[in-house]
Amino acid sequence: MEKVNLKSINLKKKLIKIFKKFGLSNDHASISADALINAELVGAYGHGLSRLKMYCDRISKGVINPKPKIKIKKISKSISHIDADNSIGFVAADIAIKTAIQNAKKTGIGMVAVKNSGHYGLSGYYAEQAVKKNLITMIYTNAPPAVAPHGALKSLFGTNPICFGTPTGSKVPFILDTSISMINRGKIRVAAINNKKIPKGVALNKFGRPTTNAKKALEGVQLPIAGFRGSGLAWMIDILSGVLTGGNHAGRVKDPFDDFSGPQNIGHLFITFKTNLFVKNYNTRIKDNIRRIKRLPKIKGVKEIMYPGQNKYKRFKMNTKKKIKISKIIEKDFEILKH
Amino acid sequence: MEKVNLKSINLKKKLIKIFKKFGLSNDHASISADALINAELVGAYGHGLSRLKMYCDRISKGVINPKPKIKIKKISKSISHIDADNSIGFVAADIAIKTAIQNAKKTGIGMVAVKNSGHYGLSGYYAEQAVKKNLITMIYTNAPPAVAPHGALKSLFGTNPICFGTPTGSKVPFILDTSISMINRGKIRVAAINNKKIPKGVALNKFGRPTTNAKKALEGVQLPIAGFRGSGLAWMIDILSGVLTGGNHAGRVKDPFDDFSGPQNIGHLFITFKTNLFVKNYNTRIKDNIRRIKRLPKIKGVKEIMYPGQNKYKRFKMNTKKKIKISKIIEKDFEILKH
């Protein structure tokens, strides 16, 4: 494959064709293609095209349902519950965030829980949708075991991201999308594929000893941020997205790459609310907030204090313009999946 | 003062008498006394009796309003906005959590924002109230500048706790109440009073250099957990509790000990919701969750994997039984405040 422009219609068409070949409807294929391309555009390669083959493999093996009957149950005007029927996660999350947006627009606050879903890529991608509709959002999802609870010798929590998004009164949204592990599992996976080392202090091997070898880290345990605090946050997210929603929890979410013994049944929780519930001038207030923080004296070498989401937006803008070389491994995946 | 039983009526009476002397109503004095005693009982001494004099000083200097006209504005059946009229924070938070509980009981979800409040002690104390009513809760508050944003050389964020509570199907609630700073500011304050050192790597002095001297750390900068991730979480909390609510934000919350130039106008946000919105057997599910995690193989020397709130509950139980010696400094405060 040659260098491609990620925003090119050709790439999207190619992805849609592959997903449809594996049984997805045109709509679901398009939603999934958009999510993968977006991950590449923001530079989150661990959540982008490198996962295409995994999704297709899971459909082939019957653990992602290409023709899900997704049920949306209204609990109240603000609250909805979605049974995603083991759809590809992108589709479940797309419906969920749209429902959460609708609920918040009607009542001021929306809460949508999802069960029987799968890996949906980047939480920030869905947060952006709510922020574009001028809402604040908090999004939680669990994930397969990767991080050991504080005091334990075995992984159980996923890298469970905390995601928060808010309008900023400018075109660049504030999107915090931070894993509670020292390092993103996707990044370790990419490092393992490319035979690169990972930083010190982020993972242990399967014997509980520190390692910088990405492959050994994948067999071992990732460390949570800030010891018992990060462990507590990961536990909170497992409760909010798993215990509460009816999804899997407590380490039962299957690894999408390695475990084809059944669907993942990941749970997600989406909370959305209006910015003007309590103040009339939210945009002015948040602009002032950001301006004051950016004006602080900086550590030597720091040019600008960036808010969460700003760097990602810059990468997005840059990557929409230039052509990108797709790695040989992904090129090979494309070839396999086409036929 | 001799050793006292913290649960003794005498101690509470003494505190109520002092607060009333400073102009609080009997109700408000009682709420405030309960909060201070609870902090001592759970071993959070930085939020307990060591703060009594500060509260009284702020009332004397007119920056806490002892006779507030607190307004509760109904935004919807789920959502309320409280203008605390610069009340002592305990009272504002007490009304807020009770309102959030009522709203959630009626509609499934409650959201209460507070502005013009002050330091309210421990978020976990209010979370416990919601959990006792069988609700899940998330609580955010900002605080005076203590932590530098990632890349900045100056403190701006408070130690801004993230608080999450849930029933566990047992009498010991799951209460995560974790500051996003490496160390609780109250602990540094107690260390400074007692001339004790603080751990390495948690704070910088006013010149931006690492320090283990508690007094120098108070003049300097506390470090956030996990670098830019912790900084992002602190920023999120400043937005949720300050920008959104109408409270102070972006470093404008005054230090309650050092700055008597005006009220703090701290903002808080309380979110509460029912456990059975999406599943009928929440208690069974969370019991199973905790059981599975506790059963994991443990790191050498770890007897039990504890969930957040468990240690605090143990301390609470222990401290309700035994008598505790009150420090000379607090004893002196009592003497000053009585007269």
Q: What is the predicted pLDDT for the residue at B67?
A: 98
- pLDDT at position B1 over 60: no
Number of CB atoms found within 10 A of residue B55's CB = 23
pLDDT computed for residue B280 by the predictor: 97
pLDDT, residue A17, reads: 96
* Interface test with chain A among B293, B303, B310, B312, by most A beta carbons within 10 Å: B293
Distance between CA A126 and CA A165 in Å, rounded?
Answer: 9
Query: Distance, in angstroms, between A337 CA and closest chain B CA?
Result: 37
Backbone φ and ψ for A174, nearest 5 degrees, come out as -90, 110
Nearest to B243 among A235, A286, A304 (CB): A286
Query: Reduced to 3 states, what is the DSSP secondary structure of residue A17?
Result: helix
- A192 vs chain B: nearest CA distance in angstroms? 24
- pLDDT value, residue A185: 79
Q: For the segment B33-48, what is each residue's pLDDT rounded down to a tens digit?
A: 999 999 999 999 889 9
Chain B residues in contact with A294 by the CB 8 A cut-off are none
For an interface test with B, which of A74, A237, A239 has the most B Cβ atoms less than 10 Å from its Cβ? A239
**DSSP summary character for residue B195:** T
CB atoms A136 and B244 under 8 Å: yes
What 8-state DSSP symbol labels residue B322? S
Contact B289 A79 (CB under 8 A): no
* A56 Cα to chain B: minimum distance (Å): 30
* A304 pLDDT higher than 90: yes
What is the Cα Rg of chain A in Å?
Answer: 20
Query: Residue B276: is its pLDDT beyond 60?
Result: yes
CA atoms within 13 A on the CB side of B65: 16
**Nearest residue of chain B to residue A308 (CA atoms):** B232
Instruction: Pick B302's closest partner by Cβ from A113, A151, A240.
Output: A151
Is residue A118 scored above 70 in pLDDT? yes
Which residues in A lie closer than 8 A to residue B236 (C-beta atoms)?
164, 176, 308
pLDDT value of residue A14: 93
What is the model's pLDDT at position A45?
87
Q: Quick check: A2 pLDDT over 70?
A: no
Taking contacts as CB-CB distances below 8 angstroms, the residues of chain B near A113 are 277-278
- Does B107 sit within 8 Å of A109, measured CB to CB? no
**Minimal-distance CA residue of chain A relative to B72:** A278
pLDDT at B222 over 90: no
Residue A320: exposure state from Cβ atoms within 10 A (0-12, 13-18, ≥19): exposed
* pLDDT value for B149: 93
> Would you call A81 and B278 a contact, using CB atoms and an 8 Å cutoff?
yes
Residue B47 is given by DSSP the state G
Q: Which residues of B touch A82 (CB under 8 A)?
A: none
Please judge whether B299 and A208 are an interchain contact, meaning their C-beta atoms are less than 8 angstroms apart: yes
Binning pLDDT at 50, 70 and 90, where does residue A160 land? very high
What HEC string does A37-68 produce? HHHHHCCCHHHCHHHHHHHHHHHHCCCCCCCC
User: What's the pLDDT at B249?
Assistant: 98
Q: Judging by DSSP bridges, how do beta strands B71-74 and A174-179 pair with one another?
A: unpaired
Lowest mean pLDDT among A146-150, A261-265, B21-25, B77-81: A146-150
Nearest to A286 among B154, B239, B271 (CB): B239
Mean pLDDT across B242-250? 98
Residue B325 confidence (pLDDT) above 90? no
- Closest-approach residue (CA) in chain A for B135: A244
Q: How confident is the model at residue A174 (pLDDT cuts 50, 70, 90)?
A: very high
pLDDT at B108 over 60: yes
Global pTM reads 0.95
For residue B324, is pLDDT > 80?
Answer: no
Residues ≥6 apart with Cβ < 8 Å to A91: A28, A31, A32, A68, A70, A84
In the predicted structure, residue A7 carries a pLDDT above the cut 60 = yes
Supply the pLDDT for residue A33. 97
By Cβ distance, the residue of B76, B154, B208 closest to A296 is: B154
Strands, DSSP E only, in chain A? 4-5, 71-74, 79-83, 109-117, 135-141, 161-166, 174-179, 203-204, 221-222, 266-274, 323-324
Strand partners for B334: none
pLDDT tens-digit map of B162-172: 999 999 999 99
Cβ distance of B153 and A298 shorter than 8 Å = yes
The predicted model gives B275-280 an average pLDDT of 98
Q: Distance from CA of residue B293 to its chain's centroid? A: 27
pLDDT for res B215: 94
Lowest mean pLDDT among A88-97, A311-320, B104-113: A311-320
pLDDT band at B288 (very low <50, low <70, confident <90, very high): very high
CATH topology of domain A4-181+224-279+317-338: Ribosomal Protein S8; Chain: A, domain 1 (3.30.1370)
Q: State percent of chain A over pLDDT 70.
A: 99
Q: Do A81 and B226 touch (CB under 8 A)?
A: no
B245 with A286: Cβ contact below 8 A? no
Q: What is the mean pLDDT of chain B?
A: 94
- Joined together, the tokens standing for residue B105 give 């009981």
Q: Do B232 and A277 touch (CB under 8 A)?
A: no
Which residue among B78, B176, B243 places its CB closest to the CB of A282? B243
Residue A68: Cβ-neighbour burial (10 angstroms; 0-12, 13-18, 19+): buried
Q: Which of A238, A278, A280, A289 to mutate to test the interface with B (most CBs of B within 10 A)?
A: A278
DSSP, collapsed to helix, strand or coil, labels residue B15 as helix
Contacts of A286 in chain B (CB under 8 A): 239, 243
Size of interface A-B (CB pairs under 8 A): 209
Q: For the ranges A42-46, A212-216, B174-178, which has the lowest average pLDDT?
A: A42-46
Q: Lowest-confidence range among A140-149, A169-178, B222-231, B236-245?
A: B222-231
What does DSSP assign to residue B147?
B
Task: Tell me: pLDDT of B299 over 90.
Answer: no
Tell me whether residues A299 and B81 touch, CB distance under 8 A: no
- A26-55, pLDDT tens digit by residue? 999 999 999 999 999 999 988 999 999 999
Look at A302 and A69; give whichever has higher pLDDT: A69
Q: At B269, is the secondary structure helix, strand, or coil?
A: strand
How far apart (Å, rounded) are the C-alpha atoms in residues A272 and A297?
34
Q: How confident is the model at residue A282 (pLDDT cuts 50, 70, 90)?
A: very high
pLDDT above 90 as % of chain A: 77
CA-to-CA distance for A37 and B265, rounded, in angstroms? 44
For residue A219, give both structure tokens.
């067999």
Q: Name the residue of chain B whose CA is nearest to A283's CA.
A: B243
* Sole residue written with tokens 């992108």: A90
* pLDDT above 90 for B208: no
Query: Is the model's pLDDT at A8 over the cut of 80?
Result: no
- Residue A17 distance to chain B (closest CA, Å): 36
For residue B201, the model assigns a pLDDT of: 81
Residues from chain B that touch A134, judged by Cβ atoms under 8 A, are none
**How close is the nearest chain B Cα to the Cα of A91, in Å?**
20
What is the per-residue pLDDT across B180-191, written as a single tens digit (0 to 9) for each? 888 877 789 889
- DSSP secondary structure letters along A220-270: SEEPBTTTHHHHHHHHHHHIIIIITTTS--TT-SPPTTT--SS---EEEEE
Please give the average per-residue pLDDT across B284-305, as a whole number.
94
Q: Do A176 and B76 touch (CB under 8 A)?
A: no
pLDDT mean over B200-204: 85
Q: Searching chain B, which residue's CA lies closest to the CA of residue A150?
A: B305
Can you tell me the distance from the alpha carbon of B27 to that of B94, in angstroms, rounded to the nearest whole number?
A: 11
